[in-house]
Amino acid sequence: MEELIDRQSPLRVRQFGSFYVGGRMVRLEGLPPRQRISTPGGPVHPIDPNGEIVVGQMYVQYVRLAEPRSSVPLLMWHGGGMTGVNWETTPDGRPGWQMFFLRAGFDTYVSDAVERGRASWAPFPHVYPEAPYFRTANEVWEDVFRFGPVGSWDADSAKRCTHPGLRFPIAHIETFLCQSVPRWDCNNVATQQAYDALLQRFDDGVVILTHSQGGNFGMTAALRAPKRVRAVISLEPSGAPDPAKHDARLLKDVPHLFVWGDYLEKHPFWVASLPASQRWRDALQDAGCALTWIDLPALDIRGNSHALMSDDNSDEVASLVLDWLCQRIPFHPQRP
Amino acid sequence: MEELIDRQSPLRVRQFGSFYVGGRMVRLEGLPPRQRISTPGGPVHPIDPNGEIVVGQMYVQYVRLAEPRSSVPLLMWHGGGMTGVNWETTPDGRPGWQMFFLRAGFDTYVSDAVERGRASWAPFPHVYPEAPYFRTANEVWEDVFRFGPVGSWDADSAKRCTHPGLRFPIAHIETFLCQSVPRWDCNNVATQQAYDALLQRFDDGVVILTHSQGGNFGMTAALRAPKRVRAVISLEPSGAPDPAKHDARLLKDVPHLFVWGDYLEKHPFWVASLPASQRWRDALQDAGCALTWIDLPALDIRGNSHALMSDDNSDEVASLVLDWLCQRIPFHPQRP
């Protein structure tokens, strides 16, 4: 599909903008008065922190092309402890998957889910019942993103070691860590509701592309609105619907793609997380769903971390996804 | 300047992307172990919340045009408790100031400052010394954004009242509230450092456009790098450098524009905040700086709130800014 993508000509953009989905007003009460200084050297203002705030909203930023080649937009849903920034420029400064799919002819809708980034977050314990946690570099490196074996992170960069053949641009690990945001375990219901509400805005259908924690939200959203979803692409989903609780037959007409990188078996987090996706894959297959399960190392594409869209072969992986997708949705020939 | 803007043709975009400025690694210690569940129905993973995280970074998202008409980009810096979303689509769904200035021919760099939005935030009291505060709808309505007189907010929308003639699209107040993020008073130094570092990326100069709390950061950044700044535009700055501490003569070659809306005198926050800008204005004028102070009601443009870029005449105000700016920076004639 590489030949389908014009990497040189300017993108012709109809509109760039954003909106919010969901959100409800809650009232904070019982908080002590505060003083605030809004700017260096500015006056002190008394404020009453009690009152209404909006919580539970999700942020969505869109780029609408003048002449999209795909008849349906691409919704790009990030993983846990992350925001839509994951889809933008890679940590080493290359165009990310958002640019890739814009150049391929898709309108893109990149979201920051509830509690993250431009979606904001709500006070704890007043609204969220608990404090967030901040993912450490250690957890990023050894546990979730699989940059190196367990025990290989060190605060001293000279003492770190990576998996042999790793494709993640490790010299730019600090830029990648900049993309992290705090996360909570208590907002799954609100997040799913926001994604479900987002789909209701698209009467003519969408493609859902997710990463990691976004995977379960994406597959569940498709279950709840199968007629609105033309395809579901899950990059290393950390979870999936439980076939004992959900009827995969609802999705028999919705093609699904799973993509997996390297080193999974070396990381307990992934060994424990993978079976949920395998069970849902099997249920989808039994239901007659058009399903593709790409294990990149089996295609001799080795060295991919969990950050598939940031790895130095990110465009190669994106091309596999585009190739799969173009065969399954209406796609116009190249515009003049 | 309206005639300069092509509102119909597609934008020709060279690159859409983002980067981070600043950020440093700190180590969290002494925190108890936690369990996490990363996805609904997923396995429980033990995690150690102690370790390195990155704090103090700023997020910057750019849209680079194929043929910019301005030789220098426009940096758009939001106000307190807000993110770069302020510059995107207005709460009532019209194209915001970012689209306006893209259509006018500026590359745009929209930031989320330290502690906000996609810049993430750091744990308190471990890194930040204190908890944030969440701006209530009451404070937005009556105090900072001047939608209605003091005492006019009510949780029941039927009981709220606005200033007569208000231009803010008040039916969309909840969408506007969705844009709010928590704020701290303790991050001014880190935020200023990040803005200063951002300017160091632009050897050929920039225009700085700020709103509210961003104003003091913008004027201070210009003081620290006057040769990199072609113009400073401050929409209702909540503060400004103190002439007793800073030498305005450093800015004598940098044109400054201030823009003010309506109802200022009715709001104690603004009555207390305005003198800092007036003192800096006077110092800039004494230094021979080309300075323009626009009081919109004095031009018979009435009803503007503090959210000038969201009000229903946002394009009219943007046109005034563009008109002023085009006379002060190199600006190419309309491309064919």
Tens of pLDDT, residues A265-287: 999 999 999 999 999 999 999 99
Q: Give the separation between CA A71 and CA B199, rounded to whole angstroms.
A: 41
Is A17 close to B96, i.e. CB distance below 8 A? Answer: yes
Task: Reply yes or no on whether the pLDDT at A3 is more than 90.
Answer: no
CB-based contacts of A256, cutoff 8 Å, min separation 6: A219, A231, A232, A233, A234, A281, A284, A289, A290, A291, A292
Task: Reply yes or no on whether the pLDDT at A2 is more than 60.
Answer: no
Is A53 close to B88, i.e. CB distance below 8 A? Answer: no
Is A239 close to B38, i.e. CB distance below 8 A? Answer: yes
Which residues of chain B from 108 to 127 reach within 8 Å of chain A, CB to CB?
Answer: 112, 117-118, 120-123
Q: Is the dihedral of CA A198, A201, A205, A207 positive or negative?
A: negative
Q: Tell me, what's the ipTM? A: 0.97
Q: Which pLDDT value is given to residue A286?
A: 98
The nearest CA of chain A is from the CA of B324 a distance in Å of 25
Which residues of chain A from 33 to 92 reach within 8 Å of chain B, CB to CB?
Answer: 34, 36-43, 45, 47-54, 57, 59, 61, 63, 65-66, 80, 83-85, 88-89
Task: Reply yes or no on whether the pLDDT at A250 is more than 50.
Answer: yes
Task: Specify which residues A292 forms β-bridges with.
Answer: A257
Is A136 close to B28, i.e. CB distance below 8 A? Answer: yes
Per-residue pLDDT of chain B (336 residues; tens, 9 = 90+): 555 677 789 999 999 999 999 999 999 999 999 988 889 888 898 889 999 999 999 999 999 999 999 999 999 999 999 999 999 999 999 999 999 999 999 999 999 999 999 999 999 999 999 999 999 999 999 999 999 999 999 999 999 999 999 999 999 999 999 999 999 999 999 999 999 999 999 999 999 999 999 999 999 999 999 999 999 999 999 999 999 999 999 999 999 999 999 999 999 999 999 999 999 999 999 999 999 999 999 999 999 999 999 999 999 999 999 999 999 998 887 654
pLDDT grade for A335, boundaries at 50, 70 and 90: low
Touching check for B1 and chain A: CB below 8 Å?
A: no
Q: Which pLDDT value is given to residue B276?
A: 97
Task: Reply yes or no on whether the pLDDT at A336 is more than 50.
Answer: no
Q: How far are the Cα atoms of A301, B38, B155, B326 from residue A135, in angstroms, in the given order?
A: 28, 12, 37, 46
pLDDT grade for A334, boundaries at 50, 70 and 90: low
Q: Which pLDDT value is given to residue B336?
A: 40
Shortest CB distance from A39 goes to which of B23, B83, B239?
B239
Cβ atoms within 10 Å, residue B188: 21
Is B17 close to A175, i.e. CB distance below 8 A? Answer: no
Which residues of chain A from 295 to 334 reach within 8 Å of chain B, CB to CB?
Answer: none
Residues of chain A contacting B65 with CB distance shorter than 8 Å: 10
Is B28 close to A85, i.e. CB distance below 8 A? Answer: no
Q: Which pLDDT value is given to residue A8?
A: 82
Q: Give the separation between CA B234 and CA A112, rounded to whole angstroms.
A: 29
Shortest CB distance from B47 goes to which of A49, A133, A213?
A133
- The three state secondary structure string of chain A is CHHHCCCCCCEEEEEEEEEEEEEEEEEECCCCCEEEECCCCCCEEEECCCEEEEEEEEEEEEEEECCCCECCCEEEECCCCCCHHHHCCCCCCCCCHHHHHHHHCCCEEEEECCCCHHHCCCCCCCCCCCCCECCCHHHHHHHHCCCCCCCCCCCCHHHCCCCCCCCCCHHHHHHHHHCCCCECCCCHHHHHHHHHHHHCCCCCCEEEEEECHHHHHHHHHHHHCHHHEEEEEEECCCCCCCCCCCCHHHHCCCCEEEEECCCHHHCHHHHHHHHHHHHHHHHHHHCCCCEEEEEHHHHCCCCCCCCCCCCCCHHHHHHHHHHHHHCCCCECCCCC
Q: Is the dihedral of CA A321, A2, A334, B103 positive or negative?
A: positive
Nearest-Cα residue of chain A relative to residue B123? A134
Is B185 close to A120, i.e. CB distance below 8 A? Answer: no
Mutate to test the interface with B, among A112, A118, A236 (most CBs of B within 10 A): A118
Q: What is the DSSP letter of B144?
A: I
Stated pTM of the model:
0.97
Q: Which pLDDT value is given to residue B41?
A: 87
Cα angle B187, B55, B201 (rounded to 5 degrees) comes to: 85
Task: Reply yes or no on whether the pLDDT at A247 is more than 90.
Answer: yes
The nearest CA of chain A is from the CA of B246 a distance in Å of 12
Structure confidence by residue, pLDDT tens digits, A56-70: 999 999 999 999 999
- The three state secondary structure string of A15-53 is EEEEEEEEEEEEEECCCCCEEEECCCCCCEEEECCCEEE
Burial of B190 (0-12, 13-18, 19+ CB in 10 A): buried
Touching check for B200 and chain A: CB below 8 Å?
A: no
